[in-house]
Copies of this chain bind each other. A is one copy, B any other.
Amino acid sequence: MALIVQKYGGTSVGSVERIEAVADRVKRWREQGNQVVVVVSAMSGETDRLVGLARQIQSRPEPRELDVLLSTGEQVTIALLSMALAARGCPARSYTGAQVHILTDSVHNKARIRDIDAARVGADLEAGRVVVIAGFQGVDEEGDITTLGRGGSDTSAVAIAAALKADECQIYTDVDGVYTTDPRVEPKARKLDRITFEEMLEMASLGSKVLQIRAVEFAGKYQVPLRVLSSFGEGEGTLITFEEDEVEDAKIAGIAFSRDEAKLTILGVPDRPGVAHEILGEIAAANIEVDMIIQNVAAEAATTDFTFTVQRGDYVRALEILQARAATLGARQVLGDEQIVKISLVGVGMRSHAGIASRMFETLAREGINIRMISTSEIKISVVVDERYLELGVRALHDAFGLDQDGTVSS
C-alpha cells in the first residue's frame, strides 16, 4: 500500500464531466490498495471569472479581499469532486486550505507555505477515506485566507506530500510529461521519461510551464518523488528523479524559454559600495521578483550600468520605482524593454562537457540572432534575445543539440 498525492489542474477539473473522470481515476488508484489525497485547482475559467468581477469594482482589487474571492474557486471543486467520489461508493472528505491549516505568510496573492498540520488528513486516510484538499490557498497566523498565486496548486500538492511523507506526488496536467522543449514551438520536441530534480528546477524557473517553480523547490527540499502526467491519457508521464547517474549520457535535457520577461537598465550610476542594494532594495520591498542581474563598468568614468529582468506584469511598477530613485542615485538615465524573451539550455551533463556555451552562441549567431544578455549556472545557460527570435532560436538549438534524437535519456 502506497500513499499517493495527486494534483489535478484547472483543465483537468474544467467541467462536471472532467470532474467525474478524475473521480474514476482516483477510485481506480484507491482500489489498487493505495491511500489517496487529491489536491485540486479551480475549474478552468473560474479564476478569470472571479478576477473579472473584482476588476469591475476595483482596478487593483484589495489583495486581502481578492484572496477571499479567489479561494472560492477551489472550494467549489473540492465539494464537487467529493460528491462525485461519494456517488461512486468511494468515501471522501473535502478540506479548504484553512481547514487543514496550510499555514502561510501574510503576503496576499503570493503567499508562501510555512507549515501544514497533517493530523486531520491522516485520521481520514486511516478511516479509509479519500481526502480532497483545495490547492492554491492557505491561511495566515491571523486566520486570514491567503493564496499562493497562480499555479500555486502544484506547491500545495508537494507541500502536502512532504507533510504526509507520501510515496509519490503525481501532478496531472493537460500534457503527458516534460518535453525537451515546448512542442508548440518545436514540433520535434520529445517527451522525457526522466529528468533530474536540478534540471527540472531550472526548466521550471526558466519558464517551462509544466510545473511551478516553488513546487519543484519544495519537492527537492523534502525529497518528494514527483511525477508529471496527463489527466487525459494513461501514460507513465515524466518522473523527476534524484539519481543523476541514470542520465549520465545526457549533455542537454531540454530547452526552456520564457516570454514573460522585461528588462530594465539604469545607466551611469556612481560606482560606490552598496549601490546594487540601493537599486534593488526598493524593488524587492515591492515584492517584485528580479531574475537576471548584470552590472558593467559604464562608458563614463567611476560610474556603472546596471541591468536586470522582471516579469512583464511587474514591469510598469518596477520602472516607476526606478525612475523615482534615479535622481537620488545620481543616475544618468533609465531604460526599459518589454519586447524580450529568455531562452535557456538545461542539463546536468554540462558539468562534465565543455564547449556547450560556445556551440550555443555559434548556433544563434549563424541564425543572425543578437544576444542581449547572458547568464549561466552550473547546469544551464540563459540568453536574452529580442522577442521575434524566440521560435527561430529554440528550433535552431533543439536541432544543434540533437534533442529530437532519443539519446539524451533512456525512454
Contacts and interface: CB of A to CB of B under 8 A. Distances in A.
Nearest to A61: B83
Given A53-B16, A57-B84, A79 B66 contact: yes
Contact of A68 (B57, B64, B79, B145): B79
A143 interface: yes
A138 to B, nearest CB: 14
B83 A75 contact: no
A262 to B, nearest CB: 28
As for how many copies of this chain the complex holds, the number is 2
B57 A20 contact: yes
A58 B87 contact: yes
A19 B54 CA distance: 11
Interface in A354-382: none
B50 A62 contact: no
Interface string A173-196: 000000000000000000000000
A57, A69, A144 interface centre (most CB from chain B within 10 Å): A57
A266 interface: no
B65 A72 contact: no
Interface stretch (A92-100, A200-208, A250-258, A330-338): A92-100
A78 interface: yes
A65 B143 CA distance: 22
Contacts of A143: 99
B82 A65 contact: yes
Contact of A56 (B16, B53, B57): B16
A298 interface: no
* Interface size range of chain A in the complex: 35 or more
Contacts of A58: 83-84, 86-87
A76 interface: yes
Contacts of A166: none
A71 B75 CA distance: 9
Interface in A109-155: 143-145
A163 interface: no
Given A16-B53, A57-B19, A57-B87, A69 B62 contact: no
A292 interface: no
A147 to B, nearest CB: 12
Contacts of A321: none
Given A16-B53, A86-B58, A94 B65 contact: yes
A326 interface: no
Contact of A72 (B62, B72, B84): B72
Contacts of A50: 76
Contact of A86 (B65, B83, B86, B94): B65
The 6 nearest A-B residue pairs measured at CB:
A69-B79, A72-B72, A68-B79, A65-B79, A65-B82, A16-B56
